[in-house]
Structure 1
Amino acid sequence: MTLRPLACALALCLVAGIAAPADAARRRAPAKPSGPPAPTACTDFHAVANADWLKANILLPGVPSLSAMEQLGDRARSQQVELLNTAMSAPQGNVQQLLGDFWASGLDEAAVERDGANPIAPLLQRVNAIRRSKDVPASIAALHQVGIPVAFNFSADIDLADLNRHVGYFAQGGLGLPDPAYYTRTDADTRALLGLYKTYVEKILALTGTPQDKLAAEAQQVIDLETRLAQASRPLAELRDPRSNYALVPTADLAKQYRKLQLAEFLTAQGVTDDSVSLANPALFAQLDTMIGELKPAQWKVYLRWRIGDAMSPYLARAWRDASQDFRGRVLAGKATAAPRNQQVLDAITLAAGPMIGREYAARYLPATSRSQAEEIAGKVRDALAAALERDTRLGPAARDEARAKLAALKIEIGTPRRDLDYTVQPMGRGSFGGNMLIASTWRHREEMKRIGRGNADRRWDVLPQQPALAYDIAQNRLIVTAAMLQAPVFDPTRELAAQYGAFGALVGHELSHGFDVRGRMVDAKGAVRDWWTPSENGAWDAMANRVSAQYGQYDYPGLTGIKVNGSQTRDVNIADLAGVELAWTAMGTALPAATKENKQAFFNGWARLWPQQVTPAVATQRAASSVHTPGKWRSNGPLVNQAAFGEAFGCRAGTPMQAKLEERIALWPQAAAPAPAKP
């Protein structure tokens, strides 16, 4: 910056004033107390490493939170829009042609408006053709086939008794409200919500063809039918444990037990030929079987028309979308206005054909060099974990043997699933967005049903490649890294290798540690669900975990007065963070045996720059009470406080805020090797 002459003169006067006589200094007014000292690497590394980000990313009014990870998600969504725009104008290959047509049909609001309810007309005709009770189950099965689950839910998921296969799960569903309790509570708020719900049901029924003078009666028929389903459904709290939703039954017995509901024929319609399925709430399906016979076909027709209209309303003409937004958006989700049209269409395509986007996304945004480098880093972190487990004093011989076998069987899948999907699907064209939704959701349902059977458990992921995710799949003993995750701040090819280990490598270590922690001990190397730790091994883990809880429980919660981090609530994530940094540091020592001071500092900067965030006090209060994740400041600083290597890299003495005293440090594997010092 260039100083103006007056500024220069003032500067000279100030310099001259330093040599003023002592008595003149005594006559000056006392200086105002200064603010808190600026943070340093040894007092608050998070603030120093993320200073530029925190300065540039101030929360705007109405924005409750912002973080580097949230920005990564926003970038991935923008990339998907860019991909679809390109597919719409210049498609490369059949899949892009399908996606481009799908995208174009959704963006053409005038065409959507002209299309009206035409996309669902065949489904409504099918339902209106019901004449007898025995016609109802076939219509239920047909709607499931196009991705509209009615009366109950049926999906593919892991067989808890054999993690190598998926089974079909019959589960409760078919309700228009998210909680069965809404249908039976008698408090004023619930009754008011039920009144708003009935109004919404009337709007959808009117759009499907119900005359005005019958709307109230037919809407009540829907609610009465759903109330009977709700009464036979389990409370949501009971469904949180996957074991409560699991009970294998032979498929051969279904025809005898549920004759009217025709579950055997239902499975045939879905293309399922497995010898068993899970059906954990037989009372619900017995109730459904009874209802098929007791309720008049006319009531079932009304209910099925309603479910079709409700499920498809976001993809039809404006009257349908407005009705859905008014109740599902405004009342249930608290969203005063609908999302922009391109976001709505992207969400719809992701729901119906997400894997198709994922395939093209990875091809466009994941360079082969990034994939190979990520695989190399992940492999070295895995090797560091192998060495750490060998010297883990908590493990006895049998547990160590099991850990060796489990780590040897670990799979690392980066970018996209190893096993691709069948993309055979009818041409979509650009004529009907609602029609395209049905075509795509029919394809998606077909692919889901193909997952059912032996040897299919690893067929694909439960997260899409275009969604940022890095996770350990405990059932399949594999690390999953999506294509969208391999970009800044997690994986930035423009930064040096040490920073890659500090960011991506540490996250890999975090996730891999879950295979061998208090959760991972419940699944062995062969995929059997059993506890392979002894009580003494469990006790040793708990002792370490209690130290972590106590350490993090001393930290002030950022942005809140008088509130500390809940060390017990966040314990498992904090332990995994410690593990991740330790393992990545060791792995970097293998990759960079002559690491310089700058390399080491880049490693720790890579970790810290994952976690900058800004949140409102309301969000901070909510997270402090319920989140299992420590706030960003302590995800950055917490693990580093315990790393002697951090203190050496930044010259922090023991006992300073960023360097715990030796006796207070927590190390999962105390003998972990550090990178060798740089050669002179």
Structure 2
Amino acid sequence: MSNPRPLAFALGLVLAASLTALPPADAAKKRKSARPAVSLACSDFYAHANADWLGAHDAVAGSGLQSALGELGERARQQQIALLDDYMRNAQAGVPQLLGDFWASGLDEAAVERDGAAPIAPLLARIAAIRRGKDVPAAVAALHQAGIPALFDFGADVDLADPERHIGYFGQGGLGLPDPAYYTRSDADTRALLGRYTDYVSRILALTGSQPERLQADTRAVLDLETRIAQASAPQSASRDPRDRYAPVPVAGLGKQYRHLQLDRFLQAQGVSDDRVSLADPQLFAQLDALVAGLKPEQWKAYLRYQVGAAMAPYLSRAWREADFAFRGTVLRGQAAPAPRQQQVLDAINLVAGPMLGREYVGRYLPDATRTRAAEIAAQVRDALGRGIERNDWMSPAAKAEAAAKLARLKIEVGAPARELDYTVQPMNRGSFGGNMLIASTWRHREEMKRIGRGNADRRWNVLPQQPALAYDLGQNRLLVTAAMLQPPVLDMTRDAAAHYGAFGALVGHELTHGFDGSGRHVDAAGTVRDWWTPADLATWDARLAALATQYGAYPYPQLKGTSVGGGQTRQENAADLGGLELAWDALANAQPALADAGRQAFFLGWAQLWPQRMSADVATRLAATEVHAPGQWRSNGPLADLPAFGAAFACKAGTPMQRESAQQVRIWR
């Protein structure tokens, strides 16, 4: 990238030569009006750093968003496809063979058509064998084992009273619509949606075996049962706080308390032997227990057949897929057309066999040198956070002590989860994609259930290694860095080492600050959910965020005339961006105290080159109203304007757009 100084110098010589030919009075007037030009680096560093990218990416036609990080995601997707193609063509033993066969079965659409509904025939036969209410719980448990959560939800999550373990959570579920309120509201839009859903239920039931003379009755049976479940469930908006879902109860009493549901036998079927589970809504499960006792077997059979059909429809023959897309794709997601077949199959494999694919992805696409470099920088940024905790002037001594203790326990995991899973699984068949989905889904559920119990809390991540992500896990107090994230523009091993800190290191710092900011203050060093800040800590933190809200609220939103960035809406993430850069700069300064000017500039270029983007006006309108991150231009420029080190690196004077006056600059950890 060209340096603007030689050009400015040449223009200065031309101006000086022209002044000598002017009459004295005119020359004096010209000198009086002249003002020193501000370089692009000091007026809009985003444009300066990303000139090449922005020049190669014109404005988005139609509706859409392009970004450097979006390109990283697409590269990771193509890497997964290349790996699966290789395994499909070159059969190997173990996980590679499983993945190759799985991939081949999904791409062979003719085989999928020939297979029809055969993959779900054993499940449908199990349901058809129900003769009385006592048979229903075992059938429900069998569907859960296959990864089809009928009637209610059950999954593993952190034990809020003991962060070293996960427990099983019983929760509401078993509905085909995304919110229980859709079954009970009476407004016109909701009733229209329910009408479309009724048509969808009928199509799935017909495909699962309902005869024409029984189809309307079976459809009514399914909707009646789902409505009863919905009436006993809480609205979706009421379950956002994880503490509301946490209510540990002994497993020993479940069999007697819910004797028709047989929850004790359900747990045994899932392979769960823990002594307690969380069941936060006993009234819901009492109602489900009563439904098992009171409804006729035929209604249960219709409901469970529909559950199987709806869950598996995207992976079966064309009639099933078209029924699924007509409602879930078009009505619920607003999609105009299904994704290409290759993308559908990749998404399906990631859904049920994601950890398998992740294991192979790491082996192929994460060099040891890259992993080592990432772990080294992450550790240095963590150490910088320790210094930031010690020197900041907004935390009380008590909060600093708790923060230091929490930081001492923080773990960093790079590439993939530290603990391997058990990849023992039934062989797959290249002729049955739906059958392979059930094999993999059963395996994934089995491994999820193994997380339940003491000492298993860190068994897996909530992200997959092949999907770009860098995140702080608040429950486990750990930083997670996926293999797919460790490539340009986040970590480019061909670039100046200082750029590694400005890009990857600053993102690490961003995420680590979330363990100690307004969000992290709710979980202490021991993993207990409590507020460990004092009121004074909160007041000083809020004052800094208010200053950031004012700063960002003055920035115009790209593509939108008359609209500014939502300073209040984005302030938490803006604080994390600023804090992340402060910590990464500190880490670099400690690692390379004699850093030359070129290295200092490379650091800030690394940061700015994370954020180039082009978006259409409709996307900008939606993001301006909902997104908690600032647009790319201001994620780049906003925090840099608060850093004296940036001004020094590019000779930007105070008061220029890229260097706010010292009294206005916001500090978090420096």
Q: Does 1:140 align with 2:111?
A: no
Give 1:90's aligned residue: 90
Please give the residue correspondences for 1:419-434 in structure 2 after superposition, counting only pairs within 5 Å.
Answer: 419-434=419-434
Give 1:490's aligned residue: 490
Give 2:28's aligned residue: none
SS in 2 for 1:156: strand
Please give the residue correspondences for 1:474-623 in structure 2 after superposition, counting only pairs within 5 Å.
Answer: 474-623=474-623
The answer as to whether partners of 1:506 and 1:584 remain within 8 angstroms in 2 is yes
Give 2:70's aligned residue: 70
CA offsets, 1:429-474, max 9 Å, x none?
Answer: 3121111100000000000000001111111111110111101111
* Alignment CA distance shift 1:22-1:548 (3 Å): closer
Give 1:650's aligned residue: 650
Query: 1:86 & 1:591 partners in 2: Cα distance?
Result: 41
* Alignment CA distance shift 1:39-1:73 (3 Å): farther
Query: 2:590 & 2:426 partners in 1: Cα distance?
Result: 51
Please give the residue correspondences for 1:621-632 in structure 2 after superposition, counting only pairs within 5 Å.
Answer: 621-632=621-632
Give 2:248's aligned residue: 248
Give 2:260's aligned residue: 260
> Which one-letter code corresponds to 1:176 in the other structure?
G
> Which one-letter code corresponds to 2:527 in the other structure?
G
SS in 2 for 1:398: helix
Give 1:28's aligned residue: none
Query: 1:314 & 1:197 partners in 2: Cα distance?
Result: 16
Give 2:466's aligned residue: 466
Please give the residue correspondences for 1:296-375 in structure 2 after superposition, counting only pairs within 5 Å.
Answer: 296-375=296-375
CA offsets, 1:205-231, max 9 Å, x none?
Answer: 111111122212211111111000111
The answer as to whether partners of 2:105 and 2:430 remain within 8 angstroms in 1 is yes
Query: 1:636 & 1:540 partners in 2: Cα distance?
Result: 25
The answer as to whether partners of 1:641 and 1:660 remain within 8 angstroms in 2 is yes
Q: Does 1:437 align with 2:437?
A: yes
Give 2:238's aligned residue: 238
Query: 1:320 & 1:473 partners in 2: Cα distance?
Result: 38
The answer as to whether partners of 1:39 and 1:48 remain within 8 angstroms in 2 is no
Query: 2:613 & 2:266 partners in 1: Cα distance?
Result: 49
The answer for unaligned runs of 5 or more in structure 2 is 1-17, 24-36
Query: 1:38 & 1:590 partners in 2: Cα distance?
Result: 31
Normalising by the residue count of structure 1, what TM-score does the alignment of the two structures yield? 0.92
Query: 1:38 & 1:71 partners in 2: Cα distance?
Result: 32
CA offsets, 1:97-154, max 9 Å, x none?
Answer: 1000000011111111101110000000000000011001100000000001100110
> Which one-letter code corresponds to 1:47 in the other structure?
A
How far is the alpha carbon of 1:59 from its aligned partner? 4.4
> Which one-letter code corresponds to 1:397 in the other structure?
P
Query: 2:179 & 2:89 partners in 1: Cα distance?
Result: 43
Query: 2:602 & 2:580 partners in 1: Cα distance?
Result: 16
Query: 2:100 & 2:68 partners in 1: Cα distance?
Result: 30
Give 2:272's aligned residue: 272
Query: 2:46 & 2:92 partners in 1: Cα distance?
Result: 44
Query: 2:368 & 2:557 partners in 1: Cα distance?
Result: 41
Give 2:11's aligned residue: none
> Which one-letter code corresponds to 1:479 in the other structure?
L
Q: Which moved more, 1:477-486 or 1:551-560?
A: 551-560
Query: 2:72 & 2:319 partners in 1: Cα distance?
Result: 35
Give 1:401's aligned residue: 401
SS in 2 for 1:663: coil
Query: 1:330 & 1:547 partners in 2: Cα distance?
Result: 43
Give 2:53's aligned residue: 53
Give 1:15's aligned residue: none
SS in 2 for 1:555: coil
* Alignment CA distance shift 1:92-1:594 (3 Å): farther
How far is the alpha carbon of 1:93 from its aligned partner? 4.2
SS in 2 for 1:254: helix
How far is the alpha carbon of 1:39 from its aligned partner? 7.2
> Which one-letter code corresponds to 1:583 in the other structure?
L
> Which one-letter code corresponds to 2:158 in the other structure?
I
Query: 2:513 & 2:201 partners in 1: Cα distance?
Result: 48
> Which one-letter code corresponds to 1:367 in the other structure?
P
Q: Does 1:165 align with 2:165?
A: yes
Query: 2:196 & 2:428 partners in 1: Cα distance?
Result: 36
Give 1:111's aligned residue: 111
The answer as to whether partners of 1:490 and 1:610 remain within 8 angstroms in 2 is yes
SS in 2 for 1:552: helix
SS in 2 for 1:568: helix
> Which one-letter code corresponds to 2:198 in the other structure?
K
Query: 2:668 & 2:275 partners in 1: Cα distance?
Result: 45
The answer as to whether partners of 1:59 and 1:65 remain within 8 angstroms in 2 is no
How far is the alpha carbon of 1:38 from its aligned partner? 10
Query: 1:62 & 1:353 partners in 2: Cα distance?
Result: 35
Query: 2:334 & 2:396 partners in 1: Cα distance?
Result: 52
CA offsets, 1:536-570, max 9 Å, x none?
Answer: 22222222222122211221112212212111111
Give the paired residue count: 640
How far is the alpha carbon of 1:481 from its aligned partner? 0.2
Runs of 4+ in structure 1 off by over 3 angstroms are: 59-63
The answer as to whether partners of 1:59 and 1:66 remain within 8 angstroms in 2 is no
Please give the residue correspondences for 1:657-676 in structure 2 after superposition, counting only pairs within 5 Å.
Answer: 657-670=657-670
Identity %: 64
Give 2:129's aligned residue: 129
Query: 1:265 & 1:146 partners in 2: Cα distance?
Result: 16
Q: Which moved more, 1:565-574 or 1:517-526?
A: 517-526
Normalising by the residue count of structure 2, what TM-score does the alignment of the two structures yield? 0.93
> Which one-letter code corresponds to 2:106 in the other structure?
G
The answer as to whether partners of 2:577 and 2:635 remain within 8 angstroms in 1 is yes
The answer as to whether partners of 1:490 and 1:504 remain within 8 angstroms in 2 is yes
SS in 2 for 1:583: helix
Q: Which moved more, 1:386-395 or 1:437-446?
A: 386-395
> Which one-letter code corresponds to 1:234 in the other structure?
A
> Which one-letter code corresponds to 1:405 in the other structure?
A
SS in 2 for 1:401: helix
Q: Which moved more, 1:521-530 or 1:174-183?
A: 521-530
SS in 2 for 1:570: helix
Query: 1:667 & 1:177 partners in 2: Cα distance?
Result: 46
SS in 2 for 1:346: helix
How far is the alpha carbon of 1:591 from its aligned partner? 2.1
Q: Which moved more, 1:472-481 or 1:591-600?
A: 591-600
SS in 2 for 1:334: coil
Query: 1:160 & 1:636 partners in 2: Cα distance?
Result: 37
How far is the alpha carbon of 1:400 from its aligned partner? 2.1
The answer as to whether partners of 2:655 and 2:661 remain within 8 angstroms in 1 is yes
* Alignment CA distance shift 1:352-1:303 (3 Å): same
* Alignment CA distance shift 1:396-1:61 (3 Å): closer
The answer as to whether partners of 2:60 and 2:616 remain within 8 angstroms in 1 is no
> Which one-letter code corresponds to 1:329 in the other structure?
G
Query: 2:654 & 2:152 partners in 1: Cα distance?
Result: 60
How far is the alpha carbon of 1:347 from its aligned partner? 0.7
How far is the alpha carbon of 1:62 from its aligned partner? 4.1
Query: 1:194 & 1:401 partners in 2: Cα distance?
Result: 55
Query: 1:41 & 1:51 partners in 2: Cα distance?
Result: 11
Query: 2:22 & 2:455 partners in 1: Cα distance?
Result: 87
The answer as to whether partners of 2:556 and 2:565 remain within 8 angstroms in 1 is yes
The answer for unaligned runs of 5 or more in structure 1 is 1-17, 24-36, 671-680
